[in-house]
Amino acid sequence: MEIPAQSSPPDEPGRPARQTPSRPPSSLSPSRAADFMRCPLLYRLRVIDRLPEKPSEAATRGTVVHAVLERLFDAPAAERTADRARSMVAGEWERLRAARPELDGLFTAAEGAADPAALAAWLQSAERLVERWFALEDPTRLEPAERELYVETVLESGLTLRGYVDRLDVAPATGDLRVVDYKTGKAPRPEYAEEPLFQMKFYALVLWRLRGVVPRRLQLVYLGSGDLLTYDPTETDLLRTERKLLALWQAITEATGSGEWRPKRGPLCGWCDHQAFCPEFGGTPPPYPLAENPGLLPVVGENGSV
């Protein structure tokens, strides 16, 4: 699971509100790296401007399903059944809703009244995803070493990498590491498969730097389509990933200093909350917040550090 970009509610239409002053980015996570590769302006609006984004049914469902799959392992192995997992969905929704009351707006009718039928259908869709997991893995035979593991390391360049690993398995006999990530969507077509694999290599690189061991296997569990994809990385793969991350960080650092964050059209633009601020759709980005604090702008080093 990814660390979300920071956001706060707006003070006035068209301009973000910030609980703390904007600062240059100081670390990189898999999702933020993917944002920059997808669209530099999207990265800026999420990381520097911290524009709020509307909650979505899909993202919220993903959070609930991840919570169920994490907490199911609190039960003894014999009790990790599909029925138990399905029964946990409503409780995890209530737990999330209590922490984020704004999610109530996801299931309201046009006139603003609660829509119980919509909520019930959504909960059932989450239950189906949880149930599908049992066709892909057998939790009664698994004892994860870590769940929702926060990992962070600093590369020799000075770049900090961080993120959350959904599940880390350690083989009892050999100590081999398996990095597991749950996806509530469908497995991507081959032309889009590199982004999720890049995310997994990111985690593998961090674990390698932290533990001195290259993970034996990377495993993507696609609950939306019932696919389980695996990849066995090598040191060469991870060194290549590190070079790519350093190049990305160099580009992010330069954009942070110059204020030039170019938009890039892509297949996901239709789902973007920030079209009103995007020149590709006739919008104008908000004033660059770091221009108000020139002393915070980074100085780019030869290795891309700041």
Read off the pLDDT of residues 178-218 as tens digits, 9 standing for 90 and up. Answer: 999 999 999 998 888 888 999 999 999 999 999 999 999 99
Confidence band, pLDDT 50/70/90 cuts, at residue 104: confident
What's residue 275's pLDDT?
94
Put residue 182 in one of left, alpha, beta given phi > 0 → left and psi -120 to 50 → alpha: beta
State percent of the chain over pLDDT 70.
87
Q: Which residues contact 91 (CB under 8 A, 6 or more apart)?
A: none
Q: What is the pLDDT of the chain when averaged over all its residues?
A: 89
- Domains and their CATH numbers in the chain: 57-141 (no CATH), 146-241 (3.90.320.10)
The Cα-based distances of 199 to 33, 35, 88, 135, 241 in angstroms read 9, 12, 28, 24, 10
Higher-confidence residue of 8 and 32: namely 32
Q: What is the pLDDT of residues 14-72, one digit of tens each?
A: 333 344 567 899 999 999 999 999 999 999 999 999 999 999 999 999 999 999 999 99
Q: What is the pLDDT of residue 268?
A: 87
Q: What's the rounded Cα separation, in Å, for the pair 168 and 184? A: 18
Angle at 287 between CA 281 and CA 290, to 5 degrees: 125
Give pLDDT, residue 208: 98
Checking if the pLDDT of 111 tops 80, the result is no
Cα gap 195→38, rounded to integer Å: 10
The per-residue pLDDT for range 112-159, each reduced to its tens digit, is: 778 899 999 999 999 999 999 999 999 999 999 999 999 999 999 999
d(CA 77, CA 75): 6
Confirm if 57 and 64 have CB atoms less than 8 A apart.
Answer: no
Residue 151 or 3, more confident: 151
Share of the chain above pLDDT 90, in %: 79
Quickly state the pLDDT bin for 257 (edges 50, 70, 90). Answer: very high
Within 8 A by CB and 6+ apart from 130, the residues are 65, 68, 69, 82, 85, 86, 88, 89, 223
For the ranges 93-102, 106-115, 178-187, which has the lowest average pLDDT? 106-115
Please provide the size of the chain in residues.
306
Q: What is the mean pLDDT of residues 245-267?
A: 95
pLDDT of residue 5: 39
